[in-house]
Amino acid sequence: MEITRKGVPTTIEGVQPKVGDTAPAFALTNLNGQTVTVDTLKGKKTIVSVFPDINTRVCDLQTRRFFQIAKDLPNVNIVNISNNTIDQLGGWCATEGIEAEMLSDANLEFAKAYGLFMPEFNVLARSIFVFDETGTITYVEIVPDMATEPNYDAAIAALN
């Protein structure tokens, strides 16, 4: 798959899951050292917000927006995933005063399972996945230009 970065084409490695697929398995560590998997997310609807680098403007905006959304959706899991390290993610949360579920994909397990790795930049493609309570994917957005924000409204609408 090809997307752009500020209009310049770049390639995403792998095959992305589609609506109706069972969410591919992953096991990632959160800021508390706990392992989060598709199975631990089951039982609630889930928004998975994937971003390239927490220390960039659009990634910061995306994470803040989903943090705000989480306050209004108490029965929904919202997880944020990038290949930033735990220290980088934790440092951003501490600096910004935000307590969000941040998962590090430093080993690129999620990136490979979901076909989101961009080797040219060594980051994950900005994307959103929504899972139902059983772990079935009900919404997918691979943002066509990594320097733009995802469609928040469409992701929220997919929860219904």
Q: Residue 38 is which amino acid?
A: V
pLDDT, tens only, 139-152: 999 999 989 999 99
Question: What dihedral angle (degrees, nearest 10) is formed by the CA atoms of 150, 151, 152, 153?
Answer: 180
**pLDDT value, residue 2:** 85
Window from 61-65, 76-80, 115-119, 127-131 with minimum mean pLDDT: 61-65
Helices (H) and strands (E) in the chain, counts: 5, 11
59 labelled catalytic = yes
**pLDDT value, residue 8:** 84
pTM for this predicted structure: 0.94
125 — alpha (psi -120 to 50), left (phi > 0) or beta? beta
- Smallest CA-to-CA distance from 151 within 160, 141, 159 is with 141
Given 41, 59, 125, 155, the catalytic residue:
59
Strands (E), 59-125: 76-82, 101-104, 117-118, 123-124
Calpha distance 124→43 (Å, rounded): 27
The answer to whether the CB of 159 falls within 8 A of the CB of 76 is: yes
Q: Which residue has the higher pLDDT, 141 or 7?
A: 141
Per-residue tokens: 71: 């306050």
Calpha distance 123→121 (Å, rounded): 5
